[in-house]
Structure 1
Amino acid sequence: MEFNFKEIFTAFMVLFAVIDIIGNIPIIIDLRNKAGHIQSEKASIISGILMIIFLFLGKSILNLIGVDVNSFAVAGAFILFFIALEMILGITLYKQDESTSVTASVFPLAFPLIAGPGSLTTLLSLRAEFRIENIIVAVIINVIVIYIVLKTSSKLEKIIGKNGINIIRKVFGVILLAIAVKLFTQNIKALFI
């Protein structure tokens, strides 16, 4: 095992930007109002388990359907690019179904809001670039942050305010856009060699 603080921090920031738990506070509050109660522990643990399982089995699934990690990383770069555009421009390219059931902790919160297509694609894209133990640590740190945000979402919304949440979304959107461009340029070369 070779832990690298720079890799852990970068992987954490990429996942944090993609999951966008701070930007999702209004959605979380809306879910809480509709469902009555959200089990923060359950949602955090399930999303963390989903991400780690996909980190290990995602490559096998890709091999099974005949897609290499570099191609998936390029596809992931496109997804990150569009997520970043949503964050920066305040538009919605991907519409999620709303749920009013008591299972809101698992669906749509743990999946697909937290461990959704963007974060799962990002994990495989990161795997093409970073060591797996560093990505796992980044996932665990993100799960802890997610739990804290879920537990304190109504307080955070009052403290940060709607304008603060919008500013945070746009800043992370720009960071995510830069990461998408880097991911694309590093992996597109491997496809033409």
Structure 2
Amino acid sequence: MSTAIATGRTLRPLRHLPWRSTAAGNIALFAPGGAIAIGLSIIDGRPMAAAAVAAVVLAATAFIVIPALRIRTRLDADGITTFWTRRRFLHVDRDQVSRAVVRTIYNGDGISTNRHLFLLDDEDRAIFRMSSRWWTDEQLLTVAHHFSVPLDSQPHPVHLAEVRRTAPDQLRWSERHRVLAVGGTIAGGFLICLAFAWLVTAAI
């Protein structure tokens, strides 16, 4: 695909996935309990507690839904721009990218895989990355070809440990330090659950 054809095109993630049902399922985990707590707080004459629970529920809902609606990648003449919200964006200039690599990497279960596009600079560090978990293979290749740089496609699946050994600078911090990242995620999730449980209990 030539640069001229790709320029001006906007790519949107998740459109090939049943993300709406997944988002609804995640929201259903906490929304009913929050709704009950809000109702009881209002009945008991505690509007501040009800407002606090409502704010948490709305924030969690927005965190789940808004990215799916807002995220998009625009292919421009001078590179690409990925938008998360109206004000948060990442721009990659055409001259920043020296080559592109597409790898198939095993997920944490060691069975399923996802394709990953890495846009690399002169020092082989990743300055942009896309995954087939959110984007289609066609979209990954469209972005890669947009920069008109050498593309190295590695179709055989590899484990994350192999990429960590051979190209650590192309991975995120959480992928380079798996134990710390998993421990922090578990601890953070546990604290969030405790805080929400305390808030709901206080409202009741």
TM-score calculated relative to the size of structure 2: 0.25
The structure with the largest alpha-carbon Rg is 2
Higher helix share: 1
Higher strand share: 2
